[in-house]
Structure 1
Amino acid sequence: MSDHEMTPSVVERWRTLRTAAGPIDPTELDALWADLKSVDVSSILGSWRGFAFPTGHPVERVLARSRWHGKRFLALDDAQPLICRAEDSEGGGLYSDTTSGRGEASLWNIEFRGEVTATMVYDGMPVFDHFKQVDDDTLMGVMNGKAATVAPDGHLFYFGLERE
């Protein structure tokens, strides 16, 4: 058996990490990120359901409390980073949480870790969500920015998005 046949594919590694109960070592997510393909902002427009990879990053708890559902990319200058499920509506209707997100966001192709890839730039915070493609309907994201986005151990927050 060749080395290539023994090495799990990027999609297989994604699936393993996607279903892991955690905690996941962020260096595994760093390695997966490095192997994914960059994506252009024009190809990610639409509504996406999100999830946090369970690494213990403080942002995980913040998103759980806010009942984070995902993100909406309506146009390059109209992105909603925090689509949340309302507690008080029957069935938990969705809304854009502009209070927690300090506004909304826009989409740009920005260099991160030596590659240009789709990036959401928050309007009211020094935060960037960079995206790479797992497949046509799945993105991996990493939140980058000032100190608030970095865990005490120095790792960034990783998450996934699945097209709705």
Structure 2
Amino acid sequence: MTHTLPPVRERWRALRTAPGPVDPDALDALWADLDVVDASAILGSWKGFAFSTGHPIEQVLARSHWHGKQFTALDNAQPLICRAPDGSLYSDTTAGRGEASLWNIEFRGEVTATMVYDGMAVFDHFKRVDESTLMGVMNGKASTVSAGGHLFYFALEQE
């Protein structure tokens, strides 16, 4: 008997609202079923959240009060838009080691929108959940982004 997975939107909602740790393998499976997106199609301001998997980057983003990402142009992207104590938003170029740019890059056999950090060998790949939601996965040197063999997963919702 073959076991079929629920539709993508149903799986997305379940993972998005999961109260406890999310299984990185379930995120990998969902990622594989999402549609690729062109870099030029994701320009704008995005509010982000991390999937709770226990990845160490979750704590880094929480400490920095990460709000999301800003894609002003293909060659002008801010990966770490954070909230200051006074409530204002700013681009944390110290933690991000600069800013970034957007490219269409192959990841896991598919070409999709990818944010390339200026100051470190890190790539945030994106796929479309729906017209206003992206799923992201951080990729790069294993020592930089991998935790227990798993990558960091997050999502962006268009503001």
TM-score (norm 2): 0.96
In the alignment, does 2:141 pair up with 1:150? no
The match for 1:56 is 54
Q: How many residues align?
A: 157
Map residues 77-116 of structure 1 onto 2, 5 A cutoff: 77-87=75-85, 89=86, 92-116=87-111
Structure 1 residue 29 displacement after superposition:
0.1
- Of all paired residues, the percent bearing the same amino acid is 76
Q: 2:63 aligns with which of 41, 61, 65?
A: 65
TM-score (norm 1): 0.93
Distance 1:42 1:134 in 2: 16
CA-based RMSD: 1.3
Letter in 2 for 1:8: P
Letter in 1 for 2:14: T
Letter in 2 for 1:59: I
Stretches of 4+ moved more than 4 A in 1?
A: none
Distance 2:72 2:19 in 1: 32
Structure 1 residues 45-99: Cα deviation after superposition (integer angstroms, max 9, x where no partner): 0000000000000000000000000000000000000000001x1xx11000001
The match for 1:32 is 30
Structure 1 residues 20-54: Cα deviation after superposition (integer angstroms, max 9, x where no partner): 11211100000000000000001100000000000
Letter in 2 for 1:131: F
Distance 1:128 1:22 in 2: 27
